[in-house]
Chain A
Amino acid sequence: MNKKYYENVDETLYSQKLDNGLELFILPKKDFSKTFVSLSTRYGSIHTKMKVNNQLEEYPAGIAHFLEHMLFQSDEGDVTDKFAEFGANPNAYTTYNITTYLFSTTSEVKTGIELLLDFVQVPAFSKDQVEKEKAIVVEEIKMYNDIPEVILFNEALRKLYRNHPIRDDIAGTIESVNKINIDNLMKAYKAYYNPGNLILFVCGNIDPGEIYSLVVANQERKSIESVDVVPIITKEGSYLSERHNINIDNSFPKALLGYRFDSNYTDLARSKISMIIYLEVLLGRSSKNYEILLNEKLINYSFGVIPYIDSEFFLVLIGGDSNNPNELLNRLSDIMRSEISLDEYKYLKQKYYGSLLQVFNSPEAIASEFVGYHTSGIDFFEIIDIIDSLSFEEVMGNRDYFLNHESIGITINGK
């Protein structure tokens, strides 16, 4: 196992890529009562079209999320029962490009890790269980589609992307879920749950050597045929500047401004970090613009800036609740083209060092940050060095993105 001590955060990370391709990361936290474990696959809602061993395959929207539900099922019932025997509650979530299975526990860590690896790596659900689960997933979709904020967000993605699968809701639609069956689930499973696609992260009160041996032995018992998968993400043309309103009864009015950029980065890590910092300087809680918008009564604490920056997409969404959503869109699109001064930038490095360090208070936060960056090919521990190496000019260069692109704006005017 590779072992590396990071002095600035006082943590040691152990890592090893196993023979079958599974990547293992262990971060011991000796004084903690719990251990947090996550197993992620680089498979999310956007992976609906791909070439598997050179053959084109297409899947209904929402299949990755549905598969996440199904892996908990087996002929012995729900795997949750087995975790419950030592008081743990396993969970899972699906994003645009990752599916993660997780649990935390204060006892029986090793049993838990074996259970996690086995239920994710050995699918055991039946045709009947698939049919039964549909009604549950439909209720989940309906629950999200009653939340105005979610409707607004999904609509913004659909205006920015005409072809790209990110325009589909993560859970799919009632129609697309009804096209899911045991055959396409198993095919999708074989394509994306290969060990080479998996990342296991263990953080807590554990002995790294013991965990390593356990995972190696577990993987050696499994023989999983390797497949060659090439995801196909439909390319996008340009989009037009557009304003669109959605009517929702009883909703608080809202506005969301969106931009989409080309995701051909020369260096994804630098592009991502410098954009995050640029947006923080421009519209963060300590920015002049944020203060002005509050004083103009255009925003409240729900205001947020969401950058999605990854190899397969690059977009920025800005907005929140507003008593005057149309005016907020106008003001924001001006702000995105404005200049900022150096004095607003001065203390940012100190701030990011502090906020990075605080991540290490929580095993869950460490795992999700580390794995999230890792799947984008970025080493979480090196972010502080990247921030240090960024110049003011490089960060300010991000303004060009907003000068050179149109925006889309979605509002909910409420009633």
Chain B
Amino acid sequence: MSNIHKIEASKFKTNTISIRFATKLTRENITSRALLPSILYSGCKKYPTKRLLTLELEKLYDASIGFSMTRLGALSVISIDIIYISDRYLPKSIEDRIIDLLEDVILNPLVDENGFMNERLQEEKRLLEETIKSIDDDKTDYALKKLKEHMYKDENFGILGTGYIEDFSTITTSSLYDEYVNMINCDFVDVIVSGDVNTNRLERLFSNSVTTVRPNYEFQDNKDVIEYTVYNERQNIKQSKLNIGYRCGITQKDDEYFAMVVLNSLLGSAPNNILFQTVREENSLCYYIRSSYLPFKGTIHIYLGIKNENYKKALELISAQILRLVNGDFSEKLLINAKKYLINNYKELFDRQMSIVSKAYYDVYLQRNISFDDMIKRIQDISRIDIMEAAKAIVADTEFYLIGAEDE
């Protein structure tokens, strides 16, 4: 069965349709599920090549289609999104052709008696392999990837969302086809629509799944800190990258969730946050420094780029800032501004059609029936004491330090 969620929006020039297939993410299914969006994009019976599909999209006034696999907590979500010009701006409606196209690419892929076409599978493996390898070119991304690899090594979250090159040899045209059939028939399917779209056909098209219960997105394997562990690596780069992972055990279903969201804003994401002010502005140690809160894992990552000689000082300053949160040693203005920043961002989210679609999807999973005004109130109600309480839960877990050998 599929679930249609429709959000009216007339302020955009476009309509957006998103078809999302969700199931548990496992080490066994991850690489196949990373390849599935690509193999669907590579060809269907009606548009057997990417070029023919792209030409059709261009004829449809540059409609854009996205095939992707992302994570929602413990789930793997395959999304096929299409954005196209609303009928208001066109001489003739293209809605039927758009829905035909979705049907073609999702339900009628190019296959033979052995499953997907071997030549296409080899091509998509090559492209995925090159994508995985090139991630390491950006050292900020690389260092964060290594932090996660070490910190979550025995946890579901530690599984790489990109898939693994070493799995390629076991993935065949028929095994990938089985995974596809599984996705169509057994994943939990949602169809989210924004704009003026007739959903009758969409509702029927994607209702093949036998799964009627949403899979559980919550991680069952969140851990506590055992001991602080430091990992180092040297590379011939100019800037050293310091990444620290903390556990707080506060997740999106806990009462302290909003306190943690505000805490993270105050610590390292709002403008002139505490880390930015002290580590960058007062001590000139870095250009970028940020913290991010991962509500499904109940963890926080802090990352920055520094000169190797400032390593100790940076570590001390970061610990001192967390201690300031525990002691409530920050101005009232900073706390108010951190909340205002969150509220402003939350309001701005409604100006992007894809954000509205994604929010609607998360809301059904998280069973958030909380209204816009309630959400804002929950944020505004967070007090200094709430922050201090939440900060007590933060414990340093893992550090990954990428040392720039050309910086000594």
Which A residues fall within an 8 A CB radius of B? 8-10, 29-34, 78, 80-81, 83-90, 104-107, 132-137, 139-140, 142-143, 145-149, 249-252, 285-288, 290-291, 294-295, 297, 300-302, 321, 323, 347-348, 350-355, 357-358, 360-363
Contact = CB atoms under 8 A, between A and B. Distances in A.
A87 B288 CA distance: 20
Interface stretch (B108-116, B203-211, B344-352, B383-391): B344-352
B139 interface: yes
A87 B341 contact: yes
Interface stretch (B17-25, B54-62, B146-154, B212-220): B54-62
Q: Which of B54, B134, B343, B347 has the most CB of A within 10 A?
A: B134
Interface string B302-316: 000111000000000
A321 B239 contact: no
B238 A302 contact: no
Contacts of A88: 271, 341, 344
Contacts of A105: 344
Interface of B: 10-14, 49-51, 54-55, 58-63, 83-85, 88-89, 123, 126-127, 130-131, 133-134, 136-140, 235-239, 270-272, 280-281, 284-288, 305-307, 333, 337, 340-345, 347-348, 350-353, 404, 407
A191 B352 CA distance: 38
Contacts of A133: 284
A84 B272 contact: yes
Nearest to B333: A85
Given A135-B284, A139-B307, A89 B341 contact: yes
Contact of B235 (A145, A250, A286, A352): A250
Contacts of B287: 136-137, 139-140, 143
9 contacts: A10-B88, A33-B347, A85-B337, A104-B348, A250-B235, A252-B134, A288-B51, A302-B134, A321-B134
Contacts of B340: 84-87
A132 B280 CA distance: 10
Given A32-B11, A84-B340, A89 B137 contact: no
A353 B337 CA distance: 41
Nearest to A146: B237
Contact of B130 (A135, A252, A354, A362): A252
B344 A147 contact: no
A120 to B, nearest CB: 17
B63 to A, nearest CB: 7
Q: Which of A31, A32, A137, A351 has the most CB of B within 10 A?
A: A351
A395 B51 CA distance: 22
A9 B88 CA distance: 10
A139 B61 contact: no
A8 B61 CA distance: 13
Contact of B343 (A30, A87, A285): A87
Contacts of A134: 284
A354 B337 contact: no
A246 B12 CA distance: 46
B286 A139 contact: yes
Contact of B344 (A87, A294, A323, A350): A87
Contact of B123 (A149, A290, A294): A294
B51 A146 contact: no
Contacts of A146: 139, 237-239, 404
B271 A148 contact: no
B140 A139 contact: no
B13 A147 contact: no
Contacts of A251: 137
Contact of A33 (B61, B84, B350): B350
Contact of A148 (B85, B123, B137): B137
Contact of A286 (B58, B344, B350, B353): B58
A107 B346 CA distance: 13
A213 B270 CA distance: 31
Contacts of A287: 51
B204 to A, nearest CB: 28
B130 A347 contact: no
A302 B284 CA distance: 34
A171 to B, nearest CB: 10
A106 B404 contact: no
A286 B62 contact: no
Given A34-B351, A301-B127, A350-B61, A147 B272 contact: no
Q: Which of A32, A139, A352 has the most CB of B within 10 A?
A: A139
A252 to B, nearest CB: 4
Given A33-B348, A357-B85, A84 B341 contact: yes
Contact of B51 (A8, A142, A290): A290
B51 A291 contact: yes
A86 to B, nearest CB: 6
Nearest to A248: B236
Given A33-B350, A88-B344, A139-B307, A361 B13 contact: yes
For the complex of A and B, list the 10 residue pairs with the smallest distance between their C-beta atoms, beginning with the closest: A354-B61, A87-B344, A354-B62, A87-B340, A31-B11, A135-B284, A140-B287, A139-B287, A106-B347, A84-B337
A146 B337 CA distance: 34
Given A84-B341, A106-B344, A357-B61, 19 more contacts: A29-B11, A30-B11, A32-B351, A81-B337, A85-B337, A88-B344, A107-B344, A252-B130, A286-B55, A288-B51, A291-B49, A351-B59, A353-B62, A354-B60, A354-B84, A355-B62, A361-B14, A361-B352, A361-B353
A357 B239 contact: no
B270 A84 contact: yes
B163 to A, nearest CB: 15
A357 B89 contact: yes
A246 to B, nearest CB: 13
A350 B90 CA distance: 10
Nearest to A286: B54
A85 B345 CA distance: 14
B185 to A, nearest CB: 30
Contacts of B235: 249-250
B162 to A, nearest CB: 13
Given A84-B340, A142-B238, A146-B237, A34 B347 contact: yes
